[in-house]
Structure 1
C-alpha cells in the first residue's frame, strides 16, 4: 500500500537526442572606441553649512526620540499583557482549588 507504483520499463518513450549543430564562427566585430568621460570635479558633492548641520542634528535627535518612544510603548504593552495573563492564571488556579474542596 505504501510502496510507489512505477510503470514497466518497456512503456517509457525512447530518448531522442538532437544531433549537434554544425559549428559556424561568428564574424569578428571590434568593440567601438570608449568615449572619454568628463573630468572629475574637485569640490564635494554635498556642502554642509552650519544651518544644514543643525537641521541634520535636530532630525537625527527627533528620529531617536520617536524610535525610542515606539520601542518603550511596545515593551510596556508586553509587560501589561504578561501581568494580565499572570492575574488570570492565579484567578483560574484559585477557582479550581476552591472547587476541589
Structure 2
C-alpha cells in the first residue's frame, strides 16, 4: 500500500466536517425558551392550586363555625 492509502485509512471521519452548528442555534434557543415558559406556567398552576386549597379550607372553617352558633 502506498503512504497516501494508509493515511486515508487511519484518519477518522469528522461528523461535521466543514459545517458549523450555527443553523441549530435558533432551534436550541427556541427549545430553551419553550422549556422556560412551560416551567413558569407549571409553577403558576401549582401556586394557584395551593391558593385555592387554602381558600377552601378557610371558607370551610368559617362556614362550619357559623353553623355551630
Question: Where do residues 1-101 of structure 1 align in structure 2 (5 Å cutoff)?
Answer: 39-47=9-17, 49=19, 52-101=20-69
Bigger CA radius of gyration: 1
CA distance in 2, matches of 1:84, 1:56: 42
CA distance in 2, matches of 1:87, 1:81: 10
Q: TM-score, normalised by structure 1?
A: 0.52
67-76 vs 52-61, which moves further: 52-61
Unaligned runs of 5+ in 2: 1-7
Q: 1:42, CA displacement in angstroms?
A: 4.9
Runs of 4+ in structure 1 off by over 3 angstroms are: 40-43
Partner residue of 1:4? none
1:19-56, Cα deviation, whole Å (9 max, x unpaired): xxxxxxxxxxxxxxxxxxx824355221253xx43222
More helix by share: 2
Q: TM-score, normalised by structure 2?
A: 0.73
Partner residue of 1:18? none
